[in-house]
Amino acid sequence: MDLLPKTRREFSSSSYWETFFKRRGNKAFEWYGEYSTFCGLLAKYIKLTDEILIPGCGNSEMGSQMFDIGYKNITSIDISSNVINQMTQKNIKSRPDLKFLEMDLFNTSFNDNEFNVILDKGTLDAVYSEDTEENRLKVDNMFKEIVRLLRLGGRYICISLAQQFIAEKIIKYFSNEGWLTRVCLAQKDEEDDSSSDKNEDDKKLFNMPIFMFVLTKFKKLPNSKPIFESSFFESKIERHDSVSDLLSAITDLQNYALVKQNLRQGKTLEDQLCVTLYNSSLSSPRYTIYVVDGRGNRKFAIFIVPQGRETEWMFSTYEGRKQLHKSCNYERLLIVLLNRFHEYPSLDLVKKELSSKVLQLAPPNVDKQSPFLTLGESVSVRSKQYEGRSELSGGFVVEDVQIDNKLFRRLIFYNRPEVVQSEVLLKKVVKRSKKKHQKPVESYEVDHAHMTCSYYPSVIAGLLFVQDFLNKLDEKFDVLILDVDNKDHTLPFSSPPTAFIEDQLIHSYAQIVSQDGVFILNLATRCQENRDMVITRLKKHFQRVYYTCVDEQINEIVYCLPTKLKLDTNNEDFIKFIKNNLEEFKKRLQTIDNQYKKPLEELKLINIKSA
Ligand SMILES: C[S@@+](CC[C@H](N)C(=O)[O-])C[C@H]1O[C@@H](n2cnc3c(N)ncnc32)[C@H](O)[C@@H]1O
């Protein structure tokens, strides 16, 4: 069919519509779907007694169908005389009270406040088909006319594809007028279009989600805060802080539809793609799905990451996901993360919830029973222990997660949910009751013997630089450890923030560390130049600087000594010294607390180098 406008410009020309309806004849053409698709939602916003104007009615049957179910005050207008004649002829006998008038919406002959509802299906989209200066002026006129025609409390209901510029215009215009803005999802993009008999053009256009803007006329009050709402899931209504927030909620849905369309058409992704799926709780996505394409022996699989493991390198980083894709050996792998703030009772339930959604992201012609992969048998458990806000780092949560039968307690900052900020292992302790017949009480305690990061033992090893440190008392510190992460990701250092390694500050560290003490720094940067610059500064203030690199991480533990070590000959001697003293060191620490025993057994010193 050659009746859909070929270029967008044609949408807004009145001669186009004349030809369109002439060629189409009496057959109704419903933009964005029939009345039956929208009637449920429309019934919420339109009363049977309302005075309704349908601008740009075309030959849609929406007006006559509404009339038949009881809406008696409907006036339809269109700029095309052809279509108005057609519609009048069609309805004059069976629905004589249904009015059809040839009229330009920009300049109607109706009185002020004549209608309670203006119901627009596709007309704004047709008028504002391209974002040109000329069209913007036209739309301003159209909106001005709508403001004039509607009564207070009345509604402009506009069914639209909500292209970005259209959505922005309509939301900004009416919120500036003091009206309440709500955007509803009028029709989801089609779940599976294989059964549809639409042609390819239709499929592309109508596979996008269709929105219904509901703009309620309020009196413009000075200083009143505009209200922006969306209703995308069932009848749930969400408030938005700003126009841009509401716009991006719309764009997210549109992008998802586009992505699905591309993926279903068999396009291979050049890069990884991230899709989020919400349920009706809305505040945070229930699932985050990474789509990773590449070579593979089999077509398609879904990998479910158990809760708490999403922070692991394999799932939280681009490179890790690439690696996972390679080892799973599928052309397309979906990596699914289960997000905090949601409950996932079982793996089976997750699979059930996901099954239709993941198929939308599958390549064409895949088996509906595509394999679900995971680690272990379950989705694991995550439980929130505490939630708070820090002035510097924003919101955070302390949560317990079970991984491989071990229970960990973690601190996570919401602005970097993929990073575990701190972690301890919890161990079960069973305390016998003093009373005879009472059951023993089980509880959890922090297992101090567990060291989460591979660099912690190296930090502790720095204590060895301090000769006889347990017996010393001094105003100065024998050990100064600086292990501060950087919240500003634009800076080259992940640790510490640059302010901590200014020359002046390093000077102060040197001042407060005792003569045979040590300053231990966790230095992490991917930039060699910056790293060297810090080492140079440290060397300026300390007599000796050593460092050790930590396996697979960018962290370097740097040891800075105010004086030369007596044994300060070369690297080998130093390691020998550490090793020889380690036993003695362990013994001494054990006298303070038995719990230090284990970590020091794990202690491995790797590549200590002199800087
Ligand atoms: C996209 S069609 C929508 C038709 C119909 N509302 C539907 O749902 O199928 C746009 C309609 O707006 C009409 N139209 C375009 N400019 C108009 C104007 N300035 N005043 C009134 N109608 C106009 C066209 O003739 C056409 O019938």
> Which residue has better confidence, 11 or 66?
66
Concatenated DSSP letters of 445-467: EE-TT---STTHHHHHHGGGGST
Q: Which of 374, 407, 431 is the last residue of a domain?
A: 374
Reply yes or no on whether the pLDDT at 598 is more than 50: no
The per-residue b/e assignment along 36-47, b for 16 or more CB within 10 angstroms, e otherwise, is: ebbeebbeebbe
> Which residue has better confidence, 382 or 22?
382
CB 324: neighbour CB atoms within 10 A?
A: 19
Same domain, 159 and 60: yes
Reply yes or no on whether the pLDDT at 358 is more than 60: yes
Pocket-forming residues, ligand 1, beta carbon under 6 Å: 14, 17, 29-31, 55-58, 60, 77-80, 83, 104-106, 121-123, 126-127
Q: Atom 4 in ligand 1: which residue has the minimum CA distance?
A: 58
Position 252 scores a pLDDT of: 83
Give me the chain's average pLDDT, please. Answer: 83
Range of the domain at 320: 268-374
Reply yes or no on whether the pLDDT at 569 is more than 60: no
Taking the centre of ligand 1 as the mean of its atom positions, its distance from the CA of residue 83, in whole angstroms, is 10
CB 196: neighbour CB atoms within 10 A?
A: 12
Whole-number percent of the chain with pLDDT over 90: 42
Report yes or no: 401 and 307 within 8 Å, Cβ to Cβ: yes
Q: Would you give the DSSP letter of residue 225? A: P
Q: Which of 260, 294, 309 is the last residue of a domain?
A: 260
Same domain, 475 and 605: yes
pLDDT, tens digit, 9 for 90 and up, residues 63-83: 999 999 999 999 999 999 999
Reply yes or no on whether the pLDDT at 12 is more than 90: no
Q: Is residue 6 part of a domain?
A: no
Taking the centre of ligand 1 as the mean of its atom positions, its distance from the CA of residue 317, in whole angstroms, is 50
Q: Can you tell me which atom of ligand 1 is nearest the CA of 31? A: 9
Q: Which of 421, 446, 471 is the last residue of a domain?
A: 446
Give the range with max mean pLDDT: 23-37, 107-121, 216-230, 408-422.
107-121
Position 595 scores a pLDDT of: 45
Same domain, 88 and 233: yes
pLDDT, tens digit, 9 for 90 and up, residues 291-338: 999 999 999 999 999 998 998 888 988 988 999 999 999 999 999 999
Q: Atom 7 in ligand 1: which residue has the minimum CA distance?
A: 31
Angle CA 132–135–138, to nearest 5: 155
Q: Is residue 25 part of a domain?
A: no
Q: Which two tokens stand for residue 307?
A: 């809760």
Taking the centre of ligand 1 as the mean of its atom positions, its distance from the CA of residue 195, in whole angstroms, is 30
Taking the centre of ligand 1 as the mean of its atom positions, its distance from the CA of residue 60, in whole angstroms, is 10
Reply yes or no on whether the pLDDT at 194 is more than 50: no
Q: Can you tell me which atom of ligand 1 is nearest the CA of 105? A: 20
Mean pLDDT of the 430-446 span: 82
- How many whole angstroms separate alpha carbon 98 and alpha carbon 1? 31
Same domain, 572 and 601: yes
Q: Can you tell me which atom of ligand 1 is nearest the CA of 120? A: 6
pLDDT, tens digit, 9 for 90 and up, residues 478-520: 889 999 887 666 666 778 888 888 898 899 899 889 888 889 9
Q: Is residue 28 part of a domain?
A: no
Q: Atom 3 in ligand 1: which residue has the minimum CA distance?
A: 122
> Which residue has better confidence, 420 or 264?
420
Q: Is residue 26 part of a domain?
A: no
Q: Can you tell me which atom of ligand 1 is nearest the CA of 11? A: 1
Q: Is residue 422 part of a domain?
A: yes
Same domain, 331 and 404: no
Ligand 1 pocket test: which of 79, 129, 138 has the largest number of ligand atoms within 8 Å of its C-beta?
A: 79
Q: Which two tokens stand for residue 452?
A: 């989460």
Q: Is residue 4 part of a domain?
A: no
What 316-321 contacts at long range (C-beta under 8 Å, 24+ apart), as own/partner pairs, is 316/418, 316/419, 317/418, 318/272, 321/272, 321/290, 321/292
Mean pLDDT of the 17-21 span: 70
- How many whole angstroms separate alpha carbon 405 and alpha carbon 426? 11
Angle CA 349–354–358, to nearest 5: 155
Taking the centre of ligand 1 as the mean of its atom positions, its distance from the CA of residue 121, in whole angstroms, is 8
Taking the centre of ligand 1 as the mean of its atom positions, its distance from the CA of residue 56, in whole angstroms, is 3
Same domain, 429 and 515: no
Q: Atom 1 in ligand 1: which residue has the minimum CA distance?
A: 122
> Which residue has better confidence, 360 or 247?
247
Q: Atom 14 in ligand 1: which residue has the minimum CA distance?
A: 56
Taking the centre of ligand 1 as the mean of its atom positions, its distance from the CA of residue 186, in whole angstroms, is 19
Give the range with max mean pLDDT: 122-131, 259-268, 547-556.
122-131
Same domain, 199 and 337: no
Q: Strand 298-305 and strand 372-374: pairing?
A: parallel
Q: Atom 13 in ligand 1: which residue has the minimum CA distance?
A: 56
Reply yes or no on whether the pLDDT at 350 is more than 70: yes
Taking the centre of ligand 1 as the mean of its atom positions, its distance from the CA of residue 32, in whole angstroms, is 13
Position 470 scores a pLDDT of: 44
Same domain, 441 and 568: no
Q: Which is nearest to 361 in space by CA: 192, 188, 204?
A: 192
Position 201 scores a pLDDT of: 44
- How many whole angstroms separate alpha carbon 201 and alpha carbon 376? 45
Concatenated DSSP letters of 549-595: E-TTSSEEEEEEESS--TT-S-HHHHHHHHHHHHHHHHHHHHHH-GG
The backbone region for 33, taken as left when phi is positive above 0, alpha when psi lies in -120 to 50, beta otherwise, is left
Same domain, 112 and 174: yes
- How many whole angstroms separate alpha carbon 609 and alpha carbon 436? 60
> Strand (E) positions, 164-286?
180-187, 210-216, 228-233, 236-240, 273-277
Position 547 scores a pLDDT of: 81
Q: How many domains does the chain have?
A: 4
- Our measurement of the distance from residue 442's CA atom to the centroid of its chain's CA atoms, rounded to an integer in Å, reads 39
Mean pLDDT of the 186-205 span: 52
Helix (H, G, I), strand (E, B) or coil at 602: helix
Taking the centre of ligand 1 as the mean of its atom positions, its distance from the CA of residue 124, in whole angstroms, is 8
The helix or strand, by DSSP H or E, that contains position 360, with its residue range, turns out to be helix 347-360
The backbone region for 113, taken as left when phi is positive above 0, alpha when psi lies in -120 to 50, beta otherwise, is left
Q: Atom 12 in ligand 1: which residue has the minimum CA distance?
A: 56
Per-residue pLDDT band at 464 (split at 50, 70, 90): low
Q: Which is nearest to 168 in space by CA: 228, 118, 225, 216?
A: 228
Q: Can you tell me which atom of ligand 1 is nearest the CA of 57? A: 6
pLDDT, tens digit, 9 for 90 and up, residues 210-223: 999 999 999 988 88
Radius of gyration of the chain (CA): 34
Q: Atom 11 in ligand 1: which residue has the minimum CA distance?
A: 56
Q: Which residues contact 453 (CB under 8 A, 6 or more apart)?
A: none
Give the range with max mean pLDDT: 147-156, 367-376, 558-567.
147-156
Q: Can you tell me which atom of ligand 1 is nearest the CA of 29? A: 9
Q: Can you tell me which atom of ligand 1 is nearest the CA of 142? A: 19
Taking the centre of ligand 1 as the mean of its atom positions, its distance from the CA of residue 289, in whole angstroms, is 40
Taking the centre of ligand 1 as the mean of its atom positions, its distance from the CA of residue 82, in whole angstroms, is 12
CB 525: neighbour CB atoms within 10 A?
A: 23
pLDDT, tens digit, 9 for 90 and up, residues 112-166: 999 999 999 999 999 998 899 999 999 999 999 999 999 999 999 999 999 999 9
The helix or strand, by DSSP H or E, that contains position 409, with its residue range, turns out to be strand 406-413
Q: Is residue 9 part of a domain?
A: no
Q: Is residue 18 part of a domain?
A: no
Mean pLDDT of the 84-94 span: 95
Q: Can you tell me which atom of ligand 1 is nearest the CA of 18? A: 25
Reply yes or no on whether the pLDDT at 601 is more than 70: no
> Which residue has better confidence, 584 or 29?
29
> Which residue has better confidence, 205 or 323?
323
Summary count for the chain: helices (H), strands (E): 18, 25
CATH of the domain at 56: 3.40.50.150
Same domain, 368 and 392: no
Position 603 scores a pLDDT of: 42
Reply yes or no on whether the pLDDT at 278 is more than 90: no
Per-residue pLDDT band at 199 (split at 50, 70, 90): very low
Residues 487, 537, 523, 455, CA torsion sign? negative
pLDDT, tens digit, 9 for 90 and up, residues 518-532: 899 999 887 888 889
Q: Which is nearest to 121 in space by CA: 38, 64, 235, 6?
A: 38
Position 538 scores a pLDDT of: 94
Taking the centre of ligand 1 as the mean of its atom positions, its distance from the CA of residue 111, in whole angstroms, is 21
Q: Can you tell me which atom of ligand 1 is nearest the CA of 125? A: 1
Per-residue pLDDT band at 596 (split at 50, 70, 90): very low
Taking the centre of ligand 1 as the mean of its atom positions, its distance from the CA of residue 582, in whole angstroms, is 85
Q: Which is nearest to 277 in space by CA: 375, 344, 207, 323?
A: 344
Position 588 scores a pLDDT of: 58
Taking the centre of ligand 1 as the mean of its atom positions, its distance from the CA of residue 271, in whole angstroms, is 41
Same domain, 123 and 253: yes
Per-residue pLDDT band at 469 (split at 50, 70, 90): very low
Concatenated DSSP letters of 179-211: -EEEEEEEEPPPS-GGG----HHHHHHHTS-EE
Position 223 scores a pLDDT of: 82
CATH of the domain at 332: 3.40.50
Ligand 1 pocket test: which of 4, 78, 108 has the largest number of ligand atoms within 8 Å of its C-beta?
A: 78
Ligand 1 pocket test: which of 38, 123, 142, 145 has the largest number of ligand atoms within 8 Å of its C-beta?
A: 123
Q: Which two tokens stand for residue 32?
A: 């964005």
Per-residue pLDDT band at 190 (split at 50, 70, 90): low
Reply yes or no on whether the pLDDT at 407 is more than 60: yes
Q: Which is nearest to 32 in space by CA: 196, 168, 187, 170?
A: 187
Ligand 1 pocket test: which of 17, 74, 86, 187 has the largest number of ligand atoms within 8 Å of its C-beta?
A: 17
Q: Atom 10 in ligand 1: which residue has the minimum CA distance?
A: 123
Taking the centre of ligand 1 as the mean of its atom positions, its distance from the CA of residue 54, in whole angstroms, is 9
Same domain, 284 and 421: no
Taking the centre of ligand 1 as the mean of its atom positions, its distance from the CA of residue 126, in whole angstroms, is 7
Mean pLDDT of the 94-122 span: 96
Taking the centre of ligand 1 as the mean of its atom positions, its distance from the CA of residue 57, in whole angstroms, is 6
Per-residue pLDDT band at 370 (split at 50, 70, 90): confident
Position 112 scores a pLDDT of: 97
